[in-house]
Structure 1
Amino acid sequence: MKSGDDPTGHQLRLLLVLAEELHFGRAANRLYLTQPALSQQIRSLEQRLGVQLFTRTSRQVELTKHGQELLPYVKDAVDAGHALRHAAHRAAAGSGKLRLGVCESFGALPVTRKVIAAVTAQHPELGPEVHVADDVVEQFAMLSEGEIDAAFVHLPAPEGMHDQVLTTEPRLACVAVSDPLAARDVVSLAELSHHLIVSLVSEEFPVRRGFWSGDPWPDGTTVRYSDQQVTRFETLLSTVSLGGAIAFVPASAATLYPRPDVRYLPVEDLQECAYGVVWHSADHDKPKILALAEVSRQVQDV
């Protein structure tokens, strides 16, 4: 193992979950990751350690001999990391701070700022502390690991999460400027149905994935997905810009992510989307969450 290539605690936690499940789909579901993202992290971990940890076939995943030998050390390292994080979380909980996750430019949405401002004004003891995540996948992982108490996201949320809707907005079709439809002022789902769809959502979350891909099309046919696996919004836009695939995005993206290589088109028969704040359903009676829920109801614009 080269100096500077130490495995991260996050990668070690991924290894343990995969070692328990021995199935990339189930492990990714538990971790709020896409399968490609999990596979990439495991490959990176194997490269950093200099050993193969798993054997993979189309039918099964198994720990190698080296993986079995290293597993007890990985568990010790993860347990130590958990103890450290739990101590830090207890300290944070003791301080009463509300830890909110926001993602990329969507933190600039007026309703997000209204919630943060209202919490600050009405509950100064809560802070809040705002944590910026690179993407929605990271936000859900932070929620799962207790690093944040709640997150601002476009809905629907994964199972086990409670959501408080803050506002609704249209969904737009994002197409490459080279697409013949880019010259149109408005399109229909039927006119888009021959396109592949680029999705940020893993197939492990079928309700959320189906909503953000428009699946099925109005005639009942199933959406066909692009082979590109993306987790960041900017990557999604770049993939669309190359042509051959489209994406459905919130209308606010047209303002937050203006680009010369894509066009945002209204879709006459596409359902609106909701934006809100989410937290673990089991946390519904925590004082911090009760305060957040009340503030969210006060400022909601629906």
Structure 2
Amino acid sequence: MSAGRSAEGAVATRIGAPAASHRDPTTHLLRLFLTVADELHFGRAAARLYITQSALSRQVRTLEQHLGVALFERDSRTVSLTPAGRDLLPRCRAAVEAMAQVRHAAASHRRRVGGQLVLGAIGAEASMPYAHAVLTELRGRHPDITVTVRSLGFAAQFRSVICGEVDAAFLWPPLPTGLQGLALSTERRVVCLSADDPLARSSRRSPLRLARLARHPVADVPAGVPRVWWDGWAVNPRPDGTGVRPGPVVDDIEAMLHTVARGQAIAFVPAAFRRLYPRPGVSYADVSDLPPVTAVLAWSPARRDLPVVAGLRQVAHDVVHAHAPASTGGPGRAR
């Protein structure tokens, strides 16, 4: 028997104490167990958790003592789950997920009691005329609701709404399955490209067409973003059926503009970017056959009937219909 196995036997002896001495493990300890179970390597798991390997080992042993069973077989080269570890793994995962749901539910009640409405926004959507109209009407109709606006990156835009980190958000479609929304306005799109690109100069004489941009990569988004969303924004495939080449991955508007300014990619954006995001090294050009964009107020079905969200939805619905028919840059008809 190796020294590692002997040490493990000593641990097993300690954890085989009478049941009365066992304590309920914390959620933190369960998360550590799940991370080690995912990696089956204490070094890699410690790196993921930003703690030392020795500290991780001590805390895992503490968890084993609380539970009264060994979770891992360790030696100098390998780590594997014991039969008890394999059996407890899905139960621990479910417990951690359940505790996350408890926290989200508690956060929902805190906001509801305090009249807090947390709104997310992609880019400068919260500053657009249609969003301003909704928020102004909300403030006049419900003065006791306190609104906080959070800027969302591409990776977080849908996850934040689905997980309840924000109550609703001003986003760009298409929305993934699991979210509901109300169309607020339709606006032209333009191409954002490097000021040094020859097409930036030629576009001053006449609008471009998508065919002239066929060889330009389009700024990509992180893997967690639904691919159908990027396809819609990149116009992939193009009208002639050709695919679009992804450029560097960016997670927010500023990173996208930086990538464009360096000539590494282009991006298709709402025409309002000309006013909202003037940047050195970046140019905006009209594209005659580029589809428009529809701004959307999105929410999760799980939160739609919370008082603050229901109030926001009703206000948005009323503002949209009050401004129908749609006009570029202002509230449009519901969709």
With structure 2 as the length reference, what TM-score do the two structures score? Answer: 0.66
Aligned equivalents of 2:81, 2:147: Cα separation in 1: 39
**Structure 1 residues 298, 45: CA separation in 2 closer, same or farther (over 3 Å shift)?**
farther
Q: Does 1:189 align with 2:244?
A: no
Aligned equivalents of 1:280, 1:78: Cα separation in 2: 19
SS at match of 1:49: coil
Judge conservation of contact 1:104–1:132 (CA < 8 Å) in 2.
no
Match of 1:213 in 2: 234
Match of 1:267 in 2: 287
**Cα deviation code 1:161-213 (max 9, x no counterpart):** 11111111111111111111010132000000111111336475132111111
**Cα deviation code 1:69-98 (max 9, x no counterpart):** 8x7989877765654443232222234433
Match of 1:162 in 2: 180
**Structure 1 residues 88, 297: CA separation in 2 closer, same or farther (over 3 Å shift)?**
closer
- Mark the runs of 5 or more structure 2 residues left unpaired by the alignment: 1-27, 57-77, 321-330
Judge conservation of contact 1:154–1:276 (CA < 8 Å) in 2.
yes
**Structure 1 residues 43, 210: CA separation in 2 closer, same or farther (over 3 Å shift)?**
farther
Judge conservation of contact 2:120–2:152 (CA < 8 Å) in 1.
no
More displaced, 205-214 or 135-144? Answer: 135-144
Match of 1:137 in 2: 155
Match of 2:277 in 1: 257
Displacement of 1:219 after TM fit? 1.4
**Structure 1 residues 104, 206: CA separation in 2 closer, same or farther (over 3 Å shift)?**
closer
How many pairs align? 256
1:239 to 245, 254, 259: 259
Aligned equivalents of 2:210, 2:309: Cα separation in 1: 39
- Mark the runs of 5 or more structure 1 residues left unpaired by the alignment: 1-8, 23-41, 54-63
Q: Which has the larger radius of gyration?
A: 2
With structure 1 as the length reference, what TM-score do the two structures score? Answer: 0.72
Aligned equivalents of 1:260, 1:273: Cα separation in 2: 25
Aligned equivalents of 2:46, 2:127: Cα separation in 1: 33
Match of 1:48 in 2: 50
Match of 2:127 in 1: 108
SS at match of 1:159: coil
Percentage identity across paired residues of the two chains: 30
Q: Does 1:89 align with 2:105?
A: no
1:146 to 131, 143, 164: 164
**Structure 1 residues 85, 244: CA separation in 2 closer, same or farther (over 3 Å shift)?**
closer
More displaced, 283-292 or 234-243? Answer: 283-292
